[in-house]
Amino acid sequence: MKMKPSKLVTLALLTAALSSRAALYTFTFNGPFANSGNVPDGNLSGWADPQNLGGMYQQITALQVKLNITGGYNGDLYAYISHDNVLIPLLNRVGVGSGNAFGSSDSGFNVTFTASGTDIHNASAGGGQLTGTYAADGRTISPLSPAAAFDTASRVALSAYNNLDPNGLWYLFISDVSAGGGLSHVNSWELDIAAVPEPVGIAMGIFAALVVFGSVYRKLMSCAKPAQARIAKR
C-alpha cells in the first residue's frame, strides 16, 4: 500500500513530537545549609532544606533522590521529601522492628532512592556508611511508633510523584528522634527528575505543525496542478 506524501509527513511529525519530548533534570544541593547541615541530635523539630525549582516540563515520569549524610546513628533518623502536598518518607528509623527497638547502628548514608528495589529499612553496612541504591523506606507511621509497628506499616513509593508538575517547592526534612549516637551531617542531596510536557501541550504542538504543513502542502499542490494541465495538453 502506497502512502501519500501528506500522510508520510504527518507520521514523521507525530513520531518526532512524541520521541523528542522527554527530558532529565538534575538538581544538586550542597549548601550552604541551615545549621551548617547539622541535624540536631534528639530533636523532633529537625533540619530542613526547601528548594524552589522551575523551568521543567510539566509532568513527572520518574524521580530519584540522592542523599549524602555522614556521622550519627542511622536508626535514629527520620527523613522525608515533600512536593505538591505529597510526602514520601525516605528514611524511617532504618532497622527498627520486632526485636530491634534501636534500629541500625550504621553511621551515615550515601544512597540513591528509587521508586522500586531493595527496601532500605532492612539494609546494613555493618557499622559504616550505608551506600547503594534502594527503594525509599516509605513507612507512613510516626517514627516514635512501637518497634513492632514498623514490620507491618503501609508504604508509599516515589512513584506517587508521577504525573505531577515538578515545578515549584521541594522540601527535604530530616530529624534525629532519639538523643545519643552522635551528630548527623548533611553533605548534599540531589533530585533527578524525568519529565514530559502535559499531553495537551503535545497535542497542541502537533496540531499547529499539521496546520502549517497542510497550508503549505495545499499551496504547492495548487501551483502544481496548472503546470500538470499544460504538460497534458502538449
Residue 29, pLDDT > 90, answer yes
pLDDT of the residue at 21: 75
Q: Dihedral of the CA atoms 33, 123, 176, 114 (nearest 10)?
A: 40
Residue 52: the pLDDT is: 98
Rounded distance, CA 57 to CA 207, Å? 19
pTM: 0.79
Report pLDDT for 66.
98
Query: Is 60 exceeded by the pLDDT of residue 206?
Result: no
pLDDT of residue 215: 58
Looking at the DSSP bridge assignments, the partners of residue 71 are none
Question: Rounded to an integer, what distance in angstroms lies between the CA atom of residue 50 and that of residue 173?
Answer: 8
The residue that leads in pLDDT, 225 or 24, is: 24
Percent of the chain residues past pLDDT 70, beyond the cut: 76
Structure confidence at residue 203 (pLDDT): 47
Q: What is the rounded average pLDDT of the residues 192-214?
A: 65
Cα–Cα distance list, 212 to 6, 19, 217, 218 (Å): 12, 20, 9, 10
Q: Which of 170-174, 195-199, 226-230 is the least confident region?
A: 226-230
Alpha carbon distance 180, 100 (integer Å) = 17
User: Whole-number mean pLDDT of the chain?
Assistant: 86
Residues 30-64: tens digit of each pLDDT: 999 999 999 999 999 999 999 999 999 999 999 99
119 — pLDDT class (breaks 50, 70, 90)? very high
**Section 205-222 average pLDDT:** 53
Hunting for cell 510516626 — which residue is that?
Answer: 142
